[in-house]
Structure 1
Amino acid sequence: MSKGFTLVEILIAITIFAFVSLFTANSIRNAVRSRSKINTQIENSSELRDALKVIEADVNKAFNYHDYHVDLYNLAQKERAERKKKKNPPKKPKTEGQDDSAVPPPVPTPPVDPEAGKPKEEIPQRKTPPNYTHFKGTKEEMNFTTLNNVQIRAKIPVSDQAEVGYFLKNCRNRINKEIRSNCLWRRVDPYLDKEIKTGGTSSVLIENVEEFELSYIGPEKNSGEWTDIWDSQDNFTATTKNKFPSAVKIKLKVKTGFEKKDRSLEMTVVAPIFFTNNDIEDINKKSTANDK
């Protein structure tokens, strides 16, 4: 006589199978949710990291033009004139002695400069060509010239030198045009001119920016302090005049949404300028120190 499952056994088996199925479904749902959350975090961090890489690449190749041939020529002419002046000093007239000791010696006449009355010889100097490479930066914006320009269209010759600017401005979301946020813009102008802050085309680098903070450190060895302002066109500040900073500290903070909760992601990098190419005064100081 064959035996079958009783109703109680079947109900117990169905209950166990239901619990196992529910546990498996919850595990799969949590895994999918965690995967989606991790992918979103990776995308947001990658977007932030890529934006910082673009800024860092531009800063690394910031270019400050100086025609050293003109500067060195003018410096050599100046030193040559000074050496010539030291080599041929003005001669003093000789006074003849008197035999009569009772008579006081005559009052010596002041030395006569043989070059007096002649027009001064002008030191030959070459004119310095106009400089269109500048660096202007504040706490939330910077504009400078760089060698990081790229060729977008094939068979169209493009210089690697360009004006680049970074600034904050409101923009629309790329997917939902009704949503607006604070965005970091990148401006590129392939034509160099005296107006370092205008011209070219601008594009959004990253959206939902909460904070974009910049600071700069000078080329002087003893400065060691970060500043919020840098202007190479400032004729009244010797620290920044005709000079680029040695490095730029970039702090970028963006807002990201996870599970309907707004969170922030923040990164900071220090981007050095590989070749500041600051003016000839540094070379002049070194040469005078070596002469001493």
Structure 2
Amino acid sequence: MMKKSSGFTMIELMITITILGTLTLLTAQSIQQAVKAKVKLQDQIDDVSRMRDALRLLERDINLAYHYRDLEKEIDQLVKKKPANQQQQQRQQQDQQGGPLPGGGVLTNEDQMQQQQERREVPRQDPETHWVGTEDSLNFVTMNNARTVRNTRQADFIEVGYSLRDCKSLSEGGGSSKCLWRRSSPYVDLDVTKGGDEVALLENVTEFKLRYMGKGKQDWANAWRTDAQGDASTKGKFPQAVEISVTVDKKISGKSKKYSMQLIVPIHFPNNPEEGANAQGNQSSWPRTQPPTQ
């Protein structure tokens, strides 16, 4: 009696191979899509991180904006503005304390300051730290100057500037785009808008908008200057906060991807004449960064 042979028939083998091939193809496609999604997500994270890093540096510079005030000069101006009777009382007090001068006169505060000025070997030049801000550029002096090398001779403040200009793209395909540039100079002079070295912080920037808020302004202002070109409410006075709006438009394979971010940055110590030491309390009343929009 013949035994029946056990095993798969040709049809069964073909069906099994077809099923395994289909599962393999679907698995490969799923893995490929997952890898593409991961790369795309990582690119988005990198783009947002670069934007946050650039704005974090700008935020830190604005937080530590340095406004120098010559207190000796301000006291001298206050003395000159005093009424005549107060100046006469001071002269009498000085006469009682120090006695008359050899010529029979009295040594006033103005005479003392003039003599001190004459005794100086080098004539004094008053330093100035101006704030020059427009709708798309910003120049000022900041205390954000870290010492990277021990015992290096450097000041605690530097001159910085931010502007939007053309630059060559470092991404694949090359080309050019608008970049956010940061200028820094260790030398603080009368013209705060020039000098120093520049570095590109952010590529593919389509919007870099600045607005300013401070005492004397009822709404956000598109410009703020503390030099001679400023108006009565800004001349010699730093703003209290700066609104920054940045948009990056990155094009990949013909597709455009936009990222926008907006933040309001307070100045920790504007050091304006009418504010004094209480200006430090302004930092807690302003919101910080808004999440990026896509």
Which TM-score band (shorter chain)? 0.7 to 0.9
Please list every run of 5 or more consecutive structure 1 residues that lacks an aligned counterpart in the other structure. Answer: 88-118, 284-292
RMSD (Å), alpha carbons:
2.8
> Scaled by the length of structure 1, what TM-score is found?
0.76
Does residue 64 (structure 1) correspond to residue 67 (structure 2)? The answer is yes
1:1-292 matches, cutoff 5 A? 1=3, 2-72=5-75, 74-75=77-78, 78-79=81-82, 81-83=84-86, 124=110, 130-153=126-149, 155-175=151-171, 178-220=174-216, 223-234=217-228, 237-258=231-252, 260-279=254-273, 281=274
Q: Is the 8 A contact 1:145 1:164 kept in 2?
A: yes
Larger radius of gyration: 1
Which residue does the alignment assign to 1:109? none
Which residue does the alignment assign to 1:112? none
Give the secondary-structure state (helix, strand or coil) at the position aligned to 1:47. Answer: helix
Cα 1:64–1:162 change in 2 (3 A) is same
Sequence identity of aligned pairs in percent?
A: 36
> Scaled by the length of structure 2, what TM-score is found?
0.76
Give the paired residue count. Answer: 248
* Residue deviations 1:136-192 (CA, integer Å, cap 9, x gap): 010001100110123345553222201100011111123568411111110001101
Q: Is the 8 A contact 1:150 1:158 kept in 2?
A: no
Give the secondary-structure state (helix, strand or coil) at the position aligned to 1:203. Answer: strand
Which residue does the alignment assign to 1:106? none
Q: CA deviation at 1:123?
A: 6.6
User: Which shows bigger deviation, 253-262 or 266-275?
Assistant: 253-262
Determine which structure has greater relative contact order: mean sequence separation of CA pairs < 8 Å that are 6+ residues apart, divided by chain length. Answer: 1
* Residue deviations 1:219-248 (CA, integer Å, cap 9, x gap): 34xx34100011100366220011110011
Please list every run of 5 or more consecutive structure 2 residues that lacks an aligned counterpart in the other structure. Answer: 91-104, 118-123, 277-294
2:23 maps to amino acid: V
Q: Which has the higher helix share?
A: 2
| CA–CA distance in structure 2, aligned partners of residues 248 and 262 of structure 1 | 29
| CA–CA distance in structure 2, aligned partners of residues 82 and 169 of structure 1 | 59
Q: Is the 8 A contact 2:140 2:161 kept in 1?
A: yes
Cα 1:259–1:31 change in 2 (3 A) is farther
Give the secondary-structure state (helix, strand or coil) at the position aligned to 1:204. Answer: strand
| CA–CA distance in structure 1, aligned partners of residues 154 and 173 of structure 2 | 33
Q: Is the 8 A contact 2:166 2:178 kept in 1?
A: yes
Cα 1:28–1:277 change in 2 (3 A) is same
| CA–CA distance in structure 2, aligned partners of residues 147 and 26 of structure 1 | 54
Q: Is the 8 A contact 2:225 2:235 kept in 1?
A: yes
